[in-house]
Amino acid sequence: MKIIADNKIPFLEGALESVARVEYIPGAEISRSNLLDADALITRTRTKCNRELLEGTSIRFIATATIGYDHIDTDYCREKGIGWTNAPGCNSSSVEQYLVSTLLWLANHRSIDLKALSLGVIGVGNVGRKVASAARALGMRVLLNDPPRERAEGNAEFVSLEELKEHSDIITLHVPLNKGGLDNTEHLVNREFLTHLRSGSILINSSRGGVVDEAALLEGIRSGKLSDVILDVYENEPAINRELHEALAIATSHIAGYSLDGKANGTSMSVQAISRFFSLGLDDWSPATMPVPENPELLADASEGDLFDLLWEVYAQTYDVSSDDQRLRKAPEHFEQLRGDYPFRREPAAYAVRLFQGYPEIREILEGLGFDVLSDQCM
């Protein structure tokens, strides 16, 4: 059995070698000739799995170690009997970490009180649910919009897009890129969308670049309709609109879901799916070990100072979103390299916070953000 795999998928090397011959190739360089005699493909979003790549090959199964699967031509796969899988929810906690870091960065650098603001979450799947929970832990009012879920569940907690736009101070997008149909999300954020926002709103997109019309977005920033925009994804990535880039408060290189924990989950789900499809006996496989943070115990002195300053001081030690912004601003032409060589990042669950002079509310917030809290002299 032969497997072709993207060479930037962490923890994968050594996982399947006992049952298959595995060849590792950069994702953007995987070609039809590589797949002619291969049985399976393990990939990420940079490999376009379409007719051009797959026609005439012996590929029987494709596993993408990502949540999104718009790089896979699922209609073609169905036509040819090629099985495929994505990794739903694999990096949901990682994107949550990205959003929390962004919210706390805004609180710290824009001097805003998150407890006085409303967060609108568009798309309440694996990621959106976790983002909403974290925002509530921070004391924010949360508005949820998810038409497919609302139709299926009739859940009273959902609001219309119009209500969300009218009542949200910050809007964050967590939707797939659907081109057409009842739940079209292509250019969901367009001129008409922006017209109905509160003046000075903040927009965050870590879902898919095509969900936002970037020309309209730039107009919204210049007009003052949007006070801050944070983007992790772009319409034409890896090429970025430089004019838009300069206007963004935070710009990162499609790495919101790139925590080591999220990557390990995606790899595990891919290996397990291939194992089930080909009966390889690795249905429960996961990485044997995970690197431990250099400083797994963080100190937090809550005896004085602002709550959100304290939270930023603690959270930034696990992940400071502005560091990724700085890396991209220095070398936007190296977008792909920044993704491929992304630095070590563990999620809050890998850390413990030793809290000094902390009120129960602070402990509850830290636990709500995923930390294990060790209290010394808690009031």
Domains and CATH numbers, the chain: 2-86 (3.40.50.720), 92-251 (3.40.50.720), 297-376 (3.30.1370.170)
Q: Give CA–CA dist 51/119, Å, rounded.
A: 41
State yes or no: pLDDT of 191 exceeds 60. Answer: yes
Q: What is the pLDDT of residues 284-307, one digit of tens each?
A: 999 999 999 999 999 999 887 889
Active-site entry in 254, 327, 345, 346: 254
Q: Is 186 a catalytic residue?
A: no
Active-site entry in 46, 149, 208, 363: 208
Active-site entry in 214, 237, 347, 363: 237
State yes or no: pLDDT of 252 exceeds 90. Answer: yes
Mean pLDDT of 250-270: 97
Question: Given the structure tokens 């008409």, which residue do they identify?
Answer: 192
Q: Give CA–CA dist 158/152, Å, rounded.
A: 12
pLDDT of residue 229: 99
pLDDT of residue 377: 54
Q: Is 345 a catalytic residue?
A: no
Q: Is 187 a catalytic residue?
A: no
What order of strands is seen across the sheet that includes strand 61-64?
Answer: 21-25, 2-6, 40-43, 61-64, 83-85
The residue type found at 161 is: L
Q: Give CA–CA dist 70/49, Å, rounded.
A: 9
- Residues paired with 5 in a beta bridge: 24, 42
Q: Select from 161, 94, 112 the least CA-distant residue to 348.
A: 94
Mean pLDDT of 198-208: 97
> pLDDT-based confidence at 210, cuts 50/70/90?
very high
Q: What is the pLDDT of residues 103-121, one digit of tens each?
A: 999 999 999 999 999 999 9
Q: Select from 147, 91, 144 the least CA-distant residue to 119.
A: 144
Mean pLDDT of 71-77: 97
Mean pLDDT of 261-266: 96
State yes or no: pLDDT of 177 exceeds 50. Answer: yes
State yes or no: pLDDT of 359 exceeds 90. Answer: no
- The SS3 of residue 85 is strand
pLDDT of residue 323: 98
State yes or no: pLDDT of 250 exceeds 50. Answer: yes
Half-sphere exposure of 142 (CA within 13 A, CB side): 21
Reported pTM: 0.91
pLDDT of residue 379: 44
Q: Give CA–CA dist 41/116, Å, rounded.
A: 48
Rounded to the nearest integer, the mean pLDDT of the chain is 96
pLDDT of residue 376: 66
pLDDT of residue 15: 98
Instruction: Tokens for 19, please give them.
Output: 């049952």
Phi, psi of 19 (to 5 degrees): -125, -5
pLDDT of residue 293: 95
